[in-house]
């Protein structure tokens, strides 16, 4: 069964600083990986996804993530954080095949606080 671990429950950064949110996954085949963001009271918005090709993926809002198969990781990065980036971030792995086709397994989320 697939699983996702986000080791950091809460991260605080200063506005303008760089950001890296960690994600480790467990999956028996080639994973499909996603990062979502959730602002308070809102649904989840897709930031970026990886399923093949270039291991460095660019997303919306200036985010990027790098897939490292050897480390089973898919960390999210942003070079300069804006106050509007404060939100909760979820990493997810997608299942493929069988009756779980399309089901996503999510990590517990990382809450990002941005100080002015």
Partner 1 sequence: GAGVSQSPSNKVTEKGKDVELRCDPISGHTALYWYRQSLGQGLEFLIYFQGNSAPDKSGLPSDRFSAERTGGSVSTLTIQRTQQEDSAVYLCASSARTGGNHGYTFGSGTRLTVV
Using the minimum distance from each CB to partner 1, give the nearer residue, 21 or 93.
Answer: 93
Helices (H), 10-56: none
> Which residues lie below 8 Å from residue 27, measured CB to CB, with a gap of 6+?
2, 3, 93
Residue 74 within binding range of partner 1, rule CB under 8 A: no
> Pairing state of beta strands 10-14 and 110-115?
parallel
Q: Does 44 bind partner 1 (CB under 8 A)?
A: yes
φ, ψ for residue 23 (rounded to 5)?
-145, 125
Closest to 4 (Cα-Cα) out of 76, 66, 94: 94
- Using the rule CB under 8 A, which residue among 23, 87, 90, 110 binds partner 1? 90
Q: Which is nearer to partner 1, 99 or 116 (CB)?
A: 99
Q: Is 51 in the site for partner 1 (CB under 8 A)?
A: yes
Task: Rule CB under 8 A: say whether 94 interacts with partner 1.
Answer: yes
Contact positions vs partner 1 (CB under 8 A): 32, 34, 36, 41-46, 49, 51-52, 90, 92-96, 99-109
């Amino acid at each position: 069964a697939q699983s996702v671990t986000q080791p950091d429950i809460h991260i605080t950064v200063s506005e303008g600083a760089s950001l890296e949110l960690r994600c480790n996954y467990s999956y028996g085949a080639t994973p499909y990986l996603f990062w979502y963001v959730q602002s308070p009271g809102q649904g989840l918005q897709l930031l970026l996804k990886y399923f093949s090709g270039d291991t460095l993926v660019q997303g919306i809002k200036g985010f990027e993530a790098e897939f490292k198969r050897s480390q089973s990781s898919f960390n999210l990065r942003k070079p300069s954080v804006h106050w509007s980036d404060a939100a909760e971030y979820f990493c997810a792995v997608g299942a493929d095949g069988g009756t779980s086709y399309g089901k996503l397994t999510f990590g517990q989320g990382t809450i990002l606080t941005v100080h002015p």
